[in-house]
């Protein structure tokens, strides 16, 4: 919002004392302070509200205003409740530094001004971000991905100060905003994924709210409509719950306005485009695995199976040549009282748990080929030729218990 707009609202009780030529400055935040040096708490673009408790003499005004100006503050509003009229030395200091100065009528609480500014700024920022998200969606749907989920999560961080992450249904971090800081601990990711699976299976409306380690998170299913009706009887939610990503936002969405909820729904739809690209990229690897599986099931000659594996190796292990050893991993997902085909569900889950749990992003799944038949999924895992360990121990490949450990907590929800 512009500074000029503050004068158009009579309820704010603001009177301009200087800086009329600077009223087109944009306000990006508001801060109330009576510190002599508040610069450490300023990031630029703020309207600063002060009761003048820091002023002990005329010389203090120059130092205070100089600090505000160097910190990028756009205007100062001084209350009249403490000293009455705003001191002339403060008016002159603001004029020297070209800092707009307002007087706040003693009948108006600073909280009233703060709430007004925050409401206006948040609404404008959400509108601007919605336009950016929409533009980014058009770019991603019409051509190559424009940076993946990380780009739109960075927009949430920079424009709405929201820390957000994209997680797999097993709790693996796929993407996060740069503003989110350190990665979420694995235990937190697993807990969020478990809560998401539990809420989805129970048919609760999204976003789902959960508190973990003193922080509140709101969980949005990727690609699912907010507040959508429960799935029809012919469409069991368990058919997709183990393949869909989720968006975890460190905030309580319970008191968000509809505009912000709609914006986050748009973000999930945008991220779902990236998920669809990932699924499309898996088509070739799935087909390779399916061809090998069919050869085995039909009793093909070993030479024919070996030839097909030689074709698959460069796709799954690019740059490493042929894979002399292969490991077969079989998985089954068992639901209680579920009349759904288990093979596709197990296929999606197996593609996820075969990824290194310490890795992040969608790329680590590029070397996984999983087929399905009936209620089972079968993965072909190439084991590249590596030098033997000094003690002669050979690489035994994947261990079932180790794979299950990575997903046991979320799936047990």
Separation between Cα atoms, residue 81 and residue 91, nearest integer Å: 17
Regarding whether 386 and 373 lie in a shared domain, the answer is yes
Domain boundary at 114, 146, 179, which? 114
- What mean pLDDT, rounded, does the chain reach? 79
Domain shared by 261 and 127, yes or no:
yes
Same domain, 139 and 110: no
Highest mean pLDDT among 244-253, 311-320, 366-375: 244-253
Pairing of strands 14-18, 101-104: antiparallel
Rounded mean pLDDT of 279-300?
A: 85
pLDDT given for residue 141 in this prediction: 52
97/110 Cα distance (integer angstroms): 24
* Residue whose C-alpha is closest to residue 79's, from 106, 48, 53, 100: 106
Q: Could you give the percent of the chain with pLDDT greater than 90?
A: 24
For 52-71, what is each residue's pLDDT tens digit? Answer: 999 999 999 999 999 999 99
- Residue 264 reports pLDDT greater than 80: yes
pLDDT band with cut points at 50, 70 and 90 for residue 179: low
* Of the residues 210, 237, 272, the one at which a domain ends: 272
pLDDT at residue number 362: 46
Residue 139 sits in the same domain as residue 246: yes
**Res 336 pLDDT > 80:** no
Q: Are residues 342 and 320 in the same domain?
A: yes
The three-state DSSP-derived secondary structure of 157-188 is: HHHHCCCEEEECCCCCEEEECHHHCCCCCHHH
Which H/E stretch holds residue 52?
none
Residue range 193-239, pLDDT digits in tens: 999 988 887 888 889 999 998 899 999 998 543 343 334 444 566 66
Q: Are residues 178 and 203 in the same domain?
A: yes
**For residue 343, what are the domain limits?**
276-411
Q: Are residues 253 and 125 in the same domain?
A: yes
Domain finish residue from 238, 272, 306: 272
Residue 234 CB-density burial (10 A; 0-12 exposed, 13-18 middle, 19+ buried): exposed
For residue 328, how many other CB atoms are within 10 A of its CB?
A: 14
Please indicate, yes or no, whether residues 227 and 333 belong to a single structural domain of this protein.
Answer: no
CATH number at residue 10: 3.40.1390.20
Q: Are residues 131 and 148 in the same domain?
A: yes
Whether the per-residue pLDDT at 74 is higher than 60: the answer is yes
- pLDDT exceeds cutoff 90 at 50: yes
- Is the same domain home to 327 and 404? yes
125 and 101 within one domain: no
Q: How many domains does the chain have?
A: 3
Are 137 and 250 within one domain?
yes
Residues 15-26 have pLDDT tens digits of: 999 999 999 888
pLDDT digits (tens, 9 = 90+) for 138-163: 545 544 444 567 877 887 777 777 88
User: In this predicted structure, what is the pLDDT of residue 248?
Assistant: 95
- List C-alpha distances in Å: 73 to 27, 77, 182, 249, 391: 9, 11, 29, 29, 66
Q: Given a cut of 50, is residue 261 above it in pLDDT?
A: yes
- CATH number of the domain that residue 179 is part of: 3.30.450
């Amino acid at each position: 919002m512009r500074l000029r707009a503050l004068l158009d609202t009579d309820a704010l009780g603001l009177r301009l004392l200087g800086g009329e030529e600077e009223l087109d400055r944009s306000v990006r935040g508001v801060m109330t302070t009576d510190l002599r040096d508040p610069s450490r708490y300023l990031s630029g673009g703020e309207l600063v509200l002060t009761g003048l408790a820091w002023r002990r003499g005329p010389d203090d005004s120059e130092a205070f205003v100089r600090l505000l100006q160097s910190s990028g503050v756009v205007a100062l509003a001084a209350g009249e409740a403490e000293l009455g009229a705003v001191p002339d030395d403060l008016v002159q200091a603001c004029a020297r530094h070209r800092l707009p100065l307002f007087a706040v009528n003693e009948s108006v609480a600073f909280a009233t001004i703060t709430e007004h500014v925050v409401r206006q700024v948040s609404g404008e920022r959400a509108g601007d971000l919605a336009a950016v998200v929409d533009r980014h969606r058009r770019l991603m749907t019409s051509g190559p991905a424009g940076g993946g989920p990380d780009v739109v999560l960075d927009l949430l961080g920079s424009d709405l100060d929201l820390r957000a992450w994209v997680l797999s249904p097993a709790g693996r971090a796929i993407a996060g905003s740069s503003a989110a800081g350190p990665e979420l601990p694995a235990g937190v990711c697993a807990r969020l994924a478990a809560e998401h699976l539990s809420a989805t299976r129970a048919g609760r409306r999204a976003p789902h709210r959960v508190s973990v380690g003193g922080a509140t998170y709101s969980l949005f299913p990727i690609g699912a409509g907010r507040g959508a009706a429960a799935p029809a009887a012919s469409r069991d939610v368990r058919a997709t719950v183990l393949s869909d990503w989720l968006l975890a936002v460190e905030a309580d969405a319970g008191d968000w306005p509809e505009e912000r909820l709609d914006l986050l729904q748009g973000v999930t739809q945008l991220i779902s485009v990236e998920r669809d690209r990932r699924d499309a990229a898996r088509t070739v690897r799935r087909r390779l695995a399916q061809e090998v599986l069919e050869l085995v099931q039909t009793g093909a000659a070993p030479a024919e199976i070996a030839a097909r594996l030689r074709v698959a190796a460069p796709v799954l292990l690019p740059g490493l040549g042929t894979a002399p050893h292969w490991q077969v991993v079989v998985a089954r997902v068992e639901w209680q009282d579920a009349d759904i085909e288990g093979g596709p569900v197990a296929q999606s889950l197996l593609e996820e748990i075969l990824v290194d749990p310490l890795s992040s992003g969608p790329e680590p799944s590029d070397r996984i080929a999983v087929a399905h038949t009936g209620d089972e999924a079968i993965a072909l895992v190439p084991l590249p030729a590596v030098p033997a360990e000094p003690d002669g121990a050979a690489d035994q490949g994947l261990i079932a218990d180790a794979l299950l450990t990575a997903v046991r907590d979320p799936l047990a929800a």
